[in-house]
Structure 1
């Protein structure tokens, strides 16, 4: 029974709270039981606040009894990635350079919004150091593992959030995405994750990775992600990049239909090498969109130049974080991160200005495409999950994580909303993801496409 409750969606939990058939305390106890059952093996949490969660759940339970829920997610077990501040909890950022005695004096803006709507915070989920790579391990917390096969990586950098979602260690999970860090682990663990348009969710303190970094939800259902994004979205005075409030309520998912939509499909972005298993699953998913009434057209895109453009943006961001550290702190860094930081320090101002111009061209190209089409479909990842504890697939000859994530980082550069939807399993039983992209500020279209597909390919839990 506890496992059944732990795997309930946030929307079902809210209905149950309102009907009086389940309490926030029972939901929180089930989530904490799931943490006890799974976290020792999978290592998804850096900090669990069981006492605080149960206290918040009891307060929520009383509000529901009084008929006065405080917001849209009152009593729902929720996790926060350990790059963001949660008041009175530690913020370690996967790094031994941080102070273990530090406690955040206030919530990050989106955390405050979740709290104002009654979220019950279970704790902080794991991340590589400052979220620097597409897998989740760090000198501080060790290796986070995939629930479908603990020998494999869950991806990253929001790997702890993805593992928590897949195993019922909470219903709502927050991730960050500076180059795929929501969509990579969503694809590798078989959950749903959306990177909203840049500026949709406020960030403070700002990410070291600047204007490629986004905040978004990671959940087991599309409806839960729409609910969570509705709560987190909107401008905030602490983040001057945030977009004006357009009044969108993402819970209204346009009838969950793609009938009549014009959808572009690009299987490789002009340069990606995709494993045959993944290519077959994604092509089958695209055919299902046609069966659902959409008009599908395969398009040619040539985005190979985005790799160097992204490298310059990402590595200079890492270098900027490095500059703030003292010599003793630098010695504590993940060796791979230290290498990236040093490479970033060698990038010249003309190189960076050239990368800005190339980014502008890329953004225009995708804007123009999505002016003609409602959605763009691609693989979310070119491979299934590989061995845990490695930055790149073994035997691949690759050096950095950016070489095996060709479908994710282009849309961080362009800042378009993009989601990973689970679209089946490889012959080895590992999840695959379909990426759905829409025009800027049209998360409603991403949710419509995602929800329509979810009706025929719902989340499946690890056994």
Structure 2
């Protein structure tokens, strides 16, 4: 039963609970056993609360026996990236500078909005997943917890910064995980680990405490299917008064928007953003084959590039300034405990002036204008999620690549944090080395429904799927 349960989606679990085929306690025990089996190799979790999770599962089982489930995910095991507050659990954010005894936000006595919505709707919170320090880069390793490894090849990175969440979902250590994405941090590890990851429109999922990275930072689901992600979105997009920048309540359910397919959609396929990105051949061929299937499913596909040049300098200004703000309160002695790469970008970020920052905001607004015009013609933009597959664990950039920072190999992801558009990574196959490849779907702001619907169509057609990783 354990092996069967860890392979089920969240929706499968709910259906099984409803029919009485198994209970939330069975599912939680299976997930905890899976974590114990796989985490020594993967290092996806910084904290596992087996006792607390089983107690939550017992409560859920009683509700199901009474025919009174409390919400959409009652009894579903969920993990939470260790950037987001969870009541009763330390949120150390991958840093040795954060005390496990408590923090300035409230001594671990409250949930972030998305965690609160999951708890209210009965989710079983099994543990906190790994992150690079303060979520600063596109791979997951930190001075606090070491490197998180890829389920398909444990010598390689899981990606980041939600790498622990992606690795956990990929091996069946819970069907759902909650991540954050400030420059690709949900989509990059989803691509590297062969699962689905969604960065919703900014504000669609409330965030508290506010991120030092400002409105670049989004909260989103990692799952094995788009349908499970839509289920999670129906939970975590609930309003919260602590986030003044959040959107109003969604006009309809995300699960209700899944159906309808892609027939008639106008799809722009940009394989290299106009020659700006060198894409590995194995990635390019897998993505192109998936785009061909989109056309066969009835979408009007045109190979065309959006009208923008690489906005990396504007992104760096905003990102590095945010990083500097994160550590501003630390004395010099504590700064020596930081990841050296983080310390380096914080030093650079502290040198920017207000005028530099506002110039980056201007560039961001212009990029948003251009993408708004682009989506007046095209419903979707399709690109590879990442131009490469997973590389060696424990390094920020591939060795001998000549790159300096993680943004050098993620040019398809961070532009859409600047524009706040919804974007998802869909697993569409493996390259010649047996490593996952992701296809990115991008839509206009507030068209999260269109991204989820199109991704779901790829799953229904068998284009997207979660292959079993090599990890035992």
- TM-score (ref. length: structure 1): 0.99
Deviations 1:316-365 (A, max 9, x none): 00011121212222111001000010010111222111111110010011
Q: Comparing 311-320 with 364-373, which one deviates more in the overlay? A: 364-373
For residues 402 and 225 of structure 1, do their structure 2 counterparts lie closer, same or farther at Cα, with a shift above 3 Å needed? same
- Rounded Cα–Cα distance in structure 1 between residues aligned with 2:310 and 2:116: 39
- Rounded Cα–Cα distance in structure 1 between residues aligned with 2:406 and 2:221: 22
Alignment of 1:285 with 2:293, yes or no, is: no
- Rounded Cα–Cα distance in structure 2 between residues aligned with 1:256 and 1:41: 41
Secondary structure, counterpart of 2:381 in structure 1: strand
Q: Give the superposition deviation at 1:302.
A: 4.7
Q: Give the superposition deviation at 1:280.
A: 0.9
Q: Give the superposition deviation at 1:295.
A: 0.4
- Rounded Cα–Cα distance in structure 2 between residues aligned with 1:163 and 1:132: 18
Q: Which residue of 2 aligns with 1:459?
A: 466
Verify the 8 A CA contact 1:197 1:416 in the aligned structure 2.
yes
Q: Which residue of 2 aligns with 1:236?
A: 240
Please give the root-mean-square deviation of Cα atoms over the aligned residues, in Å.
1.0
Equivalent residue for 2:356, pick from 351, 359, 365: 351
Q: Give the superposition deviation at 1:247.
A: 2.7
Corresponding residue pairs, total: 463
Q: Comparing 57-66 with 453-462, which one deviates more in the overlay? A: 453-462
Q: Which residue of 2 aligns with 1:9?
A: 9
Alignment of 1:200 with 2:200, yes or no, is: no
- Rounded Cα–Cα distance in structure 2 between residues aligned with 1:314 and 1:3: 42
Verify the 8 A CA contact 1:380 1:408 in the aligned structure 2.
yes
- Rounded Cα–Cα distance in structure 1 between residues aligned with 2:57 and 2:426: 30
Deviations 1:204-223 (A, max 9, x none): 11111111000000001111
Q: Which residue of 1 aligns with 2:213?
A: 209
- Rounded Cα–Cα distance in structure 2 between residues aligned with 1:38 and 1:444: 34
Q: Which residue of 2 aligns with 1:264?
A: 268
- Rounded Cα–Cα distance in structure 1 between residues aligned with 2:455 and 2:250: 21
Equivalent residue for 2:320, pick from 312, 315, 321: 315
Equivalent residue for 1:333, pick from 334, 338, 345: 338
Verify the 8 A CA contact 1:234 1:243 in the aligned structure 2.
no
Secondary structure, counterpart of 2:286 in structure 1: helix
Verify the 8 A CA contact 1:256 1:451 in the aligned structure 2.
no
- Rounded Cα–Cα distance in structure 2 between residues aligned with 1:433 and 1:4: 26
1:366-385 map, 5 Å? 366-385=371-390
Q: Which residue of 2 aligns with 1:130?
A: 134
Q: Give the superposition deviation at 1:438.
A: 0.7
Alignment of 1:110 with 2:145, yes or no, is: no
Q: Give the superposition deviation at 1:234.
A: 3.4
Q: Give the superposition deviation at 1:156.
A: 0.1
- TM-score (ref. length: structure 2): 0.97
Q: Which residue of 2 aligns with 1:300?
A: 305
- Rounded Cα–Cα distance in structure 2 between residues aligned with 1:118 and 1:235: 17
Q: Give the superposition deviation at 1:165.
A: 0.4
1:402-441 map, 5 Å? 402-441=407-446
Verify the 8 A CA contact 1:234 1:242 in the aligned structure 2.
no
Q: Which residue of 2 aligns with 1:32?
A: 32
Alignment of 1:252 with 2:256, yes or no, is: yes
Deviations 1:271-330 (A, max 9, x none): 111111111111111100000011001112353331111111100000111212122221
- Rounded Cα–Cα distance in structure 2 between residues aligned with 1:217 and 1:7: 18
1:89-238 map, 5 Å? 89-102=89-102, 104-238=108-242
Q: Comparing 341-350 with 63-72, which one deviates more in the overlay? A: 341-350
Q: Comparing 270-279 with 249-258, which one deviates more in the overlay? A: 249-258
Structure 2: give runs of 5+ residues left out of the alignment. none
- Rounded Cα–Cα distance in structure 2 between residues aligned with 1:43 and 1:33: 15
Secondary structure, counterpart of 1:436 in structure 2: strand
Verify the 8 A CA contact 2:97 2:337 in the aligned structure 1.
yes
- Rounded Cα–Cα distance in structure 1 between residues aligned with 2:315 and 2:3: 41
Secondary structure, counterpart of 2:345 in structure 1: helix
Deviations 1:112-136 (A, max 9, x none): 1000000000010000000000000
- Rounded Cα–Cα distance in structure 2 between residues aligned with 1:124 and 1:433: 25
Verify the 8 A CA contact 1:3 1:168 in the aligned structure 2.
no
1:33-72 map, 5 Å? 33-72=33-72
Q: Give the superposition deviation at 1:109.
A: 1.1
